[in-house]
Amino acid sequence: MAKGNGTPLTDELYAYMLGHNPPLDPVQRMLVEVTHTQLPLVAGKQVAEEQGPLLAFLVRLTAARRIVEIGTFTGLSALSMAQALPPGGTLLTCDVSEEWTEHARVAWAKAGVADRIELRIAPAIDTLRALSAEPHIDMAFIDADKDNYVAYWDELVPRMRPGGLLVVDNVFFHGEVTDPGATGLAAAIKDFNEHVKADERVDSVMVSVADGLTLARRR
């Protein structure tokens, strides 16, 4: 079986890669530090450091004006995307935790992007179902409860405008997706990955970024 020509990502190489990406700005850096010091037990939920610049790059590349995010946590991915929006662009982000998203609100205000971000505290599936059914979303980022990924996908895809970009995090589920006996959330991600692969409404690629990322373009 072909293994690709990937280079193992050592700590040194990872640091080198980060050193060649746009550096975190002071508010982004603060958010990483606050998350690790004040929420150490759940800090691993935060997107990996290379994902913020990647998401910002994708917002600029697609000239996205209307973004929907599922899974706010302490707000680093939302901050990165909101900072890359053109004037008049907006980001709707969904979460269920007032506690975790309070850090996000503070950071967005500090960064001067609070006016372009709407945070809805409610099960994301309810927030998505309440959105217009018209294709109006330019970019979506799914990074929340894994057992609802298929449901989020099926609410989002019809609402994406043609050419719109869906980005989905954790599609490797820590490598457990290759386990034939996977259960629980790993099995949910495996089902999701099959669902995307079979979905003729999109063109998709799965890439090895952090814990695996799927990028899909609405046809």
x/- track of binding to ligand SAM for residues 142-181 (CB under 6 A): -xxx--x---------------------------------
**Segment near ligand SAM (CB under 6 A), from 40-48, 56-64, 108-116, 202-210?**
40-48
Of 22-30, 94-102, 106-114, 185-193, the window that binds ligand SAM (rule: CB under 6 A) is 94-102
Tell whether residue 191 is a contact of ligand SAM (CB under 6 A). Answer: no
Q: Which of 27, 100, 153, 155 binds ligand SAM (CB under 6 A)?
A: 100
Binding of ligand SAM by 45 (CB under 6 A): yes
What are the CA-CA distances from residue 168 to residues 61, 100, 145, 217 (Å)?
Answer: 17, 21, 12, 12
Choices 5-13, 39-47, 180-188, 207-215; region in contact with ligand SAM by CB under 6 A:
39-47
- 11/7 Cα distance (integer angstroms): 12
- Pick from 27, 58, 84, 124: which binds ligand SAM (CB under 6 A)? 124
- Which residue do the tokens 């589920």 mark? 173
| The dihedral sign for the CA sequence 81, 211, 174, 218 | positive
Cα 176 from Cα 182, distance rounded (Å): 7
Q: How far is CA 41 from the centre of its chain?
A: 20
Rg, C-alpha atoms of the chain: 17
Q: Which residue lies nearer to ligand SAM by CB, 70 or 160?
A: 70
Tell me how far, at minimum, the Cβ of 125 lies from ligand SAM, in Å.
7
- Give residue 161's Cα distance to chain centre: 18
Spatial separation of the C-alpha atoms in residues 116 and 155, rounded to whole Å: 23
Find out whether 91 and 58 touch, Cβ atoms under 8 Å.
no
Among 28, 58, 59, 73, binds ligand SAM (CB under 6 A): 73
Which residues in this chain contact ligand SAM in the complex, by CB under 6 A? 45-47, 71-74, 76-77, 94-97, 100, 123-124, 143-145, 148
